[in-house]
Amino acid sequence: MGKSSKDKRDIYYRLAKEQGWRARSAFKLLQIDEEFNIFEGVQRAVDLCAAPGSWSQVLSKKLNEIRPEDAPLPKIVAVDLQAMAPLEGVIQIQGDITKVSTAEQIVSHFEGELADLVVCDGAPDVTGLHDMDEYIQAQLLLSALNITTNILKPGGTFVAKIFREAFIVCQNYTPPKDYKPTMIDPLLDLSYSSGNELLGPNRVIVPFIACGDLNGFDSDMTYPLEKKSLDPLQPPISAPYRTAINLKQNNFYNKIS
Amino acid sequence: MFQYQVPKTFLRRAGPYLKAFFIPTGELLASSLALEFWRIHKIVSAKNIEKTYKDGQDLSNIITEEKRLLAIYGSKTIHLIEAIIKYDAEKVIRPKCTFNIISKLPPLRDWIHDVRWLYDDSNTSIIQEISSHQSTSNLSTKKINNSSELAVAFAHNFVEIWDVQQLCCVYSIQCEDLCILCSARFFGNTRDSLILASGTAFNQVILWKITQKNEKGRGVVFKRLIGHEGSVFGVRFNDDGKVIASVSDDRTIRVWKITDDNPKPLILYGHMARVWDCLILNDHLISISEDSTCRVWHNRISRNMNDDDISDVDCLACWEGHVGKNIWSLAINPSKTIVATGGGDSGIRLWSLSSVTNNKIDSEKDLVKITLPSVDTYIQLNESSQIPLPSREHVRNFVLVDYCTIVIATNFGCLLKHNYITNEWTSLNNSTNLQNYTMMKASKCGRIVCCGSIDGNIYVISVNKEFKTIKKKLHEFKVFEIFFEESSDPDIIYVISHAVHNDIYILKLELNCKINNVPKFEIYHKLLVPQNFLLMSLAFCPPHNLLVCGSRESGLIIFNMTHNTIDRKLDKSTIELSPVIYLKDTHRKQAVTSVALKFNSSESNNGDDLLNIYTSGRDGGYVKYRLRCLPTSGIYNNSEDGSKIIESCHNGDYLLEKSVDDESLSINTNLDLISGYDLILEEIYRAKITKGWIEKVMFVDDELILLGFYKKRFFVYNDTKKFEMLSIACGGAHRVWHFKAQDKRMNKASFMFIRKENVFIYSRETTISNDGFNEYKLQENFHGKECRNVRFLSYSPKVPHNYRLFKSDPIIFATGAEDSLLRLFQYIPDEKENRLFSLCSIKKHSSVIKNIEWSFGNELLLFSCGASEELTCWKVEIDVSHNQKKTSTQTPFVNINCLEWASCPVVSEILETRIMDTSVCSISTNNEYHIIAAVYSDSILRVWLFDEEKRSFFLIGMSKFHNKCILQIENVVIKAKESMTEDGILLFTSATDGRIAVWDISHYIHSYLVSYTTELKFQHHTPYNLGTPIFSYQAHQSGVNCLALHQMTNLTTSNFIKESYMVVTGGEDNAIAAIILEFTYHEFKGPNSGIRIINGSTILSTSIDQRLNLWNITFKNLINNDEISEQSEESKFELIKSEFVNVCDPCCMDVLRINDGNDKNDKLMIATSGIGIELFQINL
């Protein structure tokens, strides 16, 4: 979470910095929990596409808070392609969620048990080519679902980002009988056509539920807060543009133009 | 978005449309909806072109028709298109182009990154056989006779080869590296030679051969190019396939020689954001980026670079012709001279590659250094020994009299004419007065040079020795500046001389009126300028006798020379003149560096327009003003007898009101509109162009050209066409420099400056008449970032007649966007393609524009609002363009002026508060009053009064009810009827908590207006508390993004008026909610409310699923109570029609009802906008 553009510096952006979350998205998971109580009884949790780690932070904090005195410490595994700064109480795996080996690695940390909860807040870098971004997000979601079928126990919960601010919450995982978890990508299909292809009984829209207390903070609203700008809690570890930024700081671009 | 060019014609994509343009003229030849619901990502032409020659043979070598086969793709879809181009044999008319869809491949399995036509010579006969066999059954396939296979590369790093005759996949291979690709590019024309360069999401470029399999049947990687620090967004081969350019998230371009074992790339930094594509040419690389620039680089790798050869300047040009974010597409014509770019702003532009070398001057060797001849050739050293010469001879000053002739003033006080082509030196004048200091200027005609000395002498020297040098002691002290201003008579030239202590004279030089071979040179006026006004720039307008001056302190003054009778006489010939208009701080406290005047060419209906004034400044911008006569003073003429005009002015209220001191000098610091005597000066447009300085604004062939310095360079910027024309590394801003250009293409131009006491010259004269194209813009651009609001100008019946320009009114709309630009467009229906014509684009808001509203008062006003609590009022003047007036059948093009009229004060106590939405209505009886209800992100509703005459906002009242960010507001004016004395004004607001509130603010508005209009000295009092809503309800789970009102049928009884409104809302929760509210106005009482569901209606909705839906709402159950009925199970939405919207993230929509004079043929024009804009038309 950098010092991003003005419109994104909303109340949650600032609250996250004040409360020590690595990203404002921490509040989204907290609000989903308020609505669905997803953390109850969770012993083993997996955070897919975890970097920079705000959801792992939430998992670590909440699971420890609600843990009964006699229960063992919760186990949290965070997976991401990118390196992530370490977090206390979170096991980190740098790996690809499309690989079976990654699934095996996760399960090995649970001593062969499956997870109670899998969360995924992953989003690809948006290019701005809207059709392609939509496709890649769908691929990522599908990959997350695929690996989840390998690591989630029946009855477990799966929470994933669909696009932007929308999430899907799947509870009480019940795989079809004889279903064998697979990593083969069936390539999620999105197609457009004239008219609305979802009509009649097919037009089933998963009910939308607004999470978070409506009396809580409003991300669109402007609040009187301190003017002081807080530094990012956890700057990106390996941003692709880091060399370019270094050059810029060394006045390279002024020299060449 | 990705184009492909054939000689002179040019194909490109725009969303699902395939278009062809004719490059020499920029005309659109054809436009076809080729890919239906997908964006076209690339157009790939088959190699063979079927050509038809004149006379049936190729003897004449004149092609009359060309057919080419194109594969176009986007997403998972490939269509095959035949493009037929018919040329006119005599080349009199432009070619004709048509597109026919030949066939469509079935939906493919994955996202397509590249396609390639494959050829196999040995199979030609077979292919032809298939073709002829199929031609009877399938009309289309006979045309596919030169290539039958298409290789397709997919995002999951696999390749399929498709037979386009049979429309089936004949070969498929997965690369051994299972990786998601961000880009891919084929090289090779046959199946056996085909290789794929895959740009991965994991920072690599993988090269693999399509036919080479490992034991698992997977494609074998033969080379990996490793080094990028981010995803690889684009890969390109050069012509022989030995060099690859890859571009990445890491903002670099890397160029690899793949023939090397361990290729070390050439790495190019310079783009300020992600790079999308890079073309490899022999000498150049051309790249496009998210930073919305296209850059041209040295291609050092192809020219066997060695490390000693590394120059700092790899980037040769940075073309900035697109706005906002992203240039997505890039193409070059086959002869590699014209580059085309397509931006995220929907614009298409052409660039001349040769201009890179012609128009960017970096090397010292392109500059000519002028060295003075030896001193004894022009001065006899011993003769003038009574006054000692300065210690050293060098260049003091110089002027440009011709493209190759300059006049230099030396430190010894000599004036030397020099032609640097012939290397000729001529001594023009020697004077000891001009030693050590010479201020000098040359007339535009080049005949005269004028010098000012340190002791206040003025010398007028003929360059061609037409007359004897004039010497005139004009000032007491040093001459600071001299200006030349031409008149319509070439023999009459005005000279303005400015010396220390603001001693300024304007003199008239009459060359054809000589006594003893000395022309008449007499003081015309003495000019009095305000204090702290150091004259820096000026322009004289002899027809109107007006002199416009700019100062170092950012001031602008205007002298009216006709206006001379009331001035004191100094002596019998010198008249002291004071300015009639003084404007302070015109360029953000920076110097006004030049003034240019332009007469209004269009004979608009405002006959009182005098001229347009342009000023440039060291704030890096330019300003356009309009100077008009007061309407009361009648037509301003060139009469020397100004008495009549003055009389009428003295009688006018304007003068009495505005004259503030005894010198009748009107000084105003803040207003853009200034009037002095009979003149009105209005700021029409302001733009910032550079972070550096703009030193001159001028017109060359009617195009607005700006000259300036930025960092170490001098630049010439064409503001009409929006691109940098010339850039010269001169080391930075110079005190003495000159520029002269003959034509708008800068084919003949000279730039000269003094550096370290020497004159340096860059001069050129090329014969290239053009670059192969005339029009830089093939397609007009739109906003570069998401458009937040679109509003049609609707000519509703209440619109005063003078706004109605034509029988069929031009369709005009305003847009506001994330890129903080306010733009006005005209929609022009055309036989080939309906076009958008950009009328104006204004950068005033500092951040996103959230909403815009039109309002008709005395004038046509436009209100724009957005982040940082900015709420600006614009006065919009619509005028029909002069030259279009006669073609009455076509929709006329309009001219628009959008004048900044007023800004609303910032009132919220919270920083960064945004104005989310506004709703404007003008009060019918008092047209100059506008009510602006605005909702803020600090959750407060504020209602403003805008007084058009005073150009001020007054806060009527405010209220906080929602406790959340308020997103939307709409108003309803219930016209006073029967016993009601006042109009009712209702507001509807919606917030992020999903609630809708209804407010009655009638009472507050009317009582405020009463005190505002009746109290002579209106004291702005504490704003009203607008109280609580009269009604509110929960419509959605979360944010309400849109809110629409529709008046239903109403009942009027003798005692009260009932009006029903349908309120339709759309929310973040994906739902649309409709409710009907009924208001009852009792006599003299405020409204109360009830809800009744009574009727059905039609609504339009659009949302981020990219559909425009037309719904019918039926309310079946008629409930007759005062309760809300949210249980409308029996009411239902019925989807009538659903159209696919090509615009991504549509977030705003507006509807215009068009009536062609025939009531039965009402049409609805619908504009939806987000990233781009799309217009729909529905016949009712």
Annotated catalytic residue, options A3, A161, A228, A248: A161
Residues in chain A: 257
In a domain, B726, yes or no: yes
Q: Verify that B580 and B672 share a domain, yes or no.
A: yes
Q: H or E stretch including B30?
A: strand B27-33
Do A247 and B230 make contact, defined as CB atoms within 8 angstroms? no
Q: How far apart are CA B156 and CA B176, in angstroms?
A: 11
B839 close to B863: Cβ distance less than 8 angstroms: no
With respect to CATH, is domain A6-256 assigned 3.40.190.10? no
Residue/partner pairs of B545-548 with CB below 8 Å, 24 or more apart: B545/B638, B546/B610, B546/B611, B546/B627, B547/B496, B547/B506, B548/B595, B548/B597, B548/B613
Nearest-Cα distance to chain A for B987, in Å, is: 20
Token pair in block for residue B317: 């040009």
Chain A within 8 Å of B1070 (Cβ-Cβ)?
yes
- Considering the domain architecture, whether residues B471 and B497 belong to the same structural domain is answered as yes
Residue B95 forms part of a structural domain: yes
Contact B711 A257 (CB under 8 A): yes
Q: Is A228 an active-site residue?
A: no
Q: Which of B443, B554, B566 is CA-nearest to residue B507?
A: B443
DSSP class of B298 = E
Q: Are residues B617 and B753 located together in one domain of the fold?
A: no
Q: What value does the CA radius of gyration of chain B take, rounded to a whole number of Å?
A: 35
Give just the sign of the alpha carbon dihedral B331, B333, B337, B341.
negative
- CB B150, CB B118: distance < 8 Å: yes
Alpha-carbon span B1050 to B977, nearest angstrom: 13
Which B-chain residues 233-272 have CB contacts (< 8 A) with chain A? Answer: 233, 248-252, 269-270, 272
Q: Which residues does chain A have within 8 Å of residue B290's beta carbon, measured at their own beta carbons?
A: 128
Q: What is the pLDDT of residue A204?
A: 53
Q: Between B802 and A115, where is the model more confident? A: A115
C-alpha angle with apex B1112: B1109 to B1114, nearest 5 degrees? 150
Distance CA B206, CA B130 (A): 36
Asked if A130 and B1171 come within 8 Å (Cβ–Cβ), the reply is: yes
Interface test with A, best of B967, B1109, B1138 (most A CBs within 10 A): B1138
Q: Do A6 and B912 touch (CB under 8 A)?
A: yes
Residue of B nearest to A243 (CA): B250
Quote the CA–CA distance of B452 and B503 in Å, as a whole number: 13
Displacement of CA B182 from its chain's centroid (Å): 32
Quote the DSSP letter at residue B302. Answer: G
Number of CB pairs, chain A paired with chain B, less than 8 A apart: 149
Classify residue B402 as exposed, middle or buried by CB count within 10 Å of its CB (0-12, 13-18, 19+). middle
d(CA B415, CA B426): 9
3-state SS of B31-84 is EEECCCCCCCCEEEEEEEEEEEEHHHCCCCCCEEEEEEEEEEEECCEEEEEEEE
ipTM over 0.95: no
Smallest Cβ–Cβ distance between A210 and the set B107, B203, B1069 belongs to B1069
Greater confidence, B515 or A182?
B515
Contacts of B274 in chain A (CB under 8 A): 127
Facing B939 at nearest CB: one of A129, A191, A221? A221
Q: Which of residues 705-724 of B touch A (CB under 8 A)?
A: 711
Is the domain of B505 the same as that of B558?
no
Which residues between 76 and 115 in chain B have a beta carbon less than 8 angstroms from any beta carbon of chain A?
107, 109-111
Q: Is B1078 among the domain residues?
A: no
Residues 6+ apart with CB under 8 A from B322: B292, B293, B341, B343, B344, B345, B347, B349, B781, B784
- Report the run of H or E that residue A65 belongs to, with start and end: helix A54-65
Strand partners of residue B786 = none
User: Is the minimum CB–CB distance between B867 and chain A shorter than 8 Å?
Assistant: yes
What does DSSP assign to residue B1130? T
Whole-number pLDDT of residue B317: 84
- B893 and B1015 assigned to the same domain: yes
Binding residues of A: 53, 55, 80, 96, 121
Across the interface, do B109 and A187 touch by the CB < 8 Å criterion? yes
The domain boundary, picked from B71, B89, B104, lies at B104
φ, ψ for residue B1035, nearest 5 deg: -100, -30
The answer as to whether B1113 is a domain residue is no
| Residues on chain B touching A205 (C-beta within 8 angstroms) | 1070
> Is residue B516 in some structural domain?
no
B483 and B620 fall within a common domain: no
Q: Mapping DSSP to helix (H, G, I), strand (E, B) and coil, where does residue B906 land?
A: coil
B1009 membership: H or E segment, kind and range: helix B1002-1014
> Residue B463 sits in which domain range?
390-510
B80, B67 contact by CB (below 8 A)? no
* Interacting residues of B1104 by C-beta distance below 8 A, sequence separation 6+: B1145, B1146, B1147
Tokens of B21: 């343009």
> Alpha-carbon distance A122 to A158, whole Å?
13
The helix/strand count (H/E) of chain B reads as 5, 87
Closest chain B residue to the Cα of A224, Cα to Cα:
B910
C-beta neighbour count of B1177 within 10 angstroms? 12
User: Could you count the other beta carbons within 10 Å of the beta carbon of residue B360?
Assistant: 22
Are B1 and B72 contacting, i.e. CB atoms less than 8 angstroms apart?
no
Q: What is the mean pLDDT of each run of 10 residues along chain B (1180 residues)?
A: 45 69 82 82 84 66 82 91 84 82 89 91 43 38 60 94 91 89 94 94 93 92 93 94 94 91 87 94 93 90 54 74 88 89 89 81 81 84 65 89 90 90 88 89 91 93 90 91 89 92 91 88 89 91 86 91 51 73 90 89 54 93 86 39 29 29 35 53 88 94 92 90 86 88 84 89 74 79 90 67 54 92 87 78 90 88 93 87 45 78 91 92 74 94 92 92 91 72 85 91 88 76 88 88 78 60 83 79 38 50 80 58 43 77 85 67 82 83
Of B230, B269, B1038, the CB nearest to A252: B269
Indicate the angle between helix axes A54-65 and A26-36, nearest 10 degrees: 40
- Please report whether residue B728 resides in a domain: yes
Q: What is the pLDDT of residue B121?
A: 59
Asked if B808 contacts B892 with a C-beta cutoff of 8 angstroms, the reply is no
Q: Are A224 and B1071 within 8 A, CB to CB?
A: no
Nearest to B935 by CA among B911, B893, B963, B973: B963
Same domain as B972, residue B926? yes
Residue type at position B201 = A
Task: Yes or no: say if B627 and B541 are a contact pair by the CB < 8 Å rule.
Answer: no
Beta-carbon count within 10 A of B1051 CB: 11
CB contact under 8 A, B867 and A7: yes
> Hey, are the CB atoms on A227 and B911 less than 8 Å from each other?
yes
Is A6 within 8 Å of B867 when comparing Cβ atoms? yes
Q: pLDDT-based confidence at A187, cuts 50/70/90?
A: very low
B174, B249, B296, B935: which to substitute to probe chain A, counting the most A Cβ within 10 Å? B249
Closest CB to B964: pick one of A6, A185, A221.
Answer: A221
Strand partners, B1042: B1066
B984 and B915 in a single domain? The answer is: yes
In a domain, B1089, yes or no: no
Q: Does B965 touch chain A (CB under 8 A)?
A: yes
Q: Are residues B670 and B561 located together in one domain of the fold?
A: yes
Return the H-helix or E-strand segment holding B237. strand B232-237
A 10 A CB-CB count for B388 gives: 9
Long-range contacts of A2-11 (CB under 8 A, 24+ apart): A2/A232, A2/A235, A2/A236, A3/A229, A3/A231, A3/A232, A6/B847, A6/B867, A6/B912, A7/B847, A7/B848, A7/B867, A9/B912, A10/A219, A10/A220, A11/A217, A11/A218, A11/A219, A11/A221, A11/A223, A11/A225
Q: What does the DSSP 8-state code read for residue A108?
A: H
Q: In what order do the strands lie in the sheet with B940-947?
A: B915-922, B929-936, B940-947, B952-960, B1024-1025
Question: Using CB atoms, which residue from A210, A222, A247 is nearest to B913?
Answer: A222
pLDDT tens column, A6-41: 445 678 888 888 888 888 889 999 999 998 999 998
Q: Does B352 touch chain A (CB under 8 A)?
A: no
Residue B297 lies in a domain: no
| Contacting B residues, span 900-959, partner chain A, CB-CB under 8 Å | 908-914, 916, 936-939
For chain B, the domain total comes to 5
Q: Between the CA of residue B442 and those of B402, B469, B486, B755, what are the distances in Å?
A: 10, 14, 11, 20
B937: closest CA of chain A, how far (Å): 5
Among the candidates B1039, B1059, B1081, a domain finishes at B1039
Half-sphere exposure of B419 (CA within 13 A, CB side): 8
Cβ neighbours of residue B722 closer than 8 Å, sequence gap 6 or more: B321, B776
Residues, chain B: 1180
Cα angle B1132-B1138-B1139, degrees, rounded to a multiple of 5: 160
The residue type of B186 is F
User: What is the reported pLDDT for B132?
Assistant: 38
Pair (B586, B668) in one structural domain: yes
Q: Do B110 and A187 touch (CB under 8 A)?
A: yes
- The pLDDT assigned to B146 comes to 55
- C-alpha distance from residue A110 to each of A44, A47, A84, A156 (Å): 7, 14, 21, 15
Q: What is the pLDDT of residues A156-174, one digit of tens each?
A: 999 998 877 788 899 999 8
Q: Could you give the C-alpha distances from B292 to B287, B326, B327, B528, in angstroms and in order?
A: 11, 4, 5, 48
Domain match, B428 and B558 both:
no
- Pair of tokens at residue A90: 């979170």
B909 contacts on A by Cβ (under 8 Å): 224
Whether B82 and B27 map to the same domain: the answer is yes
Two tokens, residue B815: 């847009």
Of the candidates A81, A98, A128, which has its C-beta nearest B325's C-beta? A128
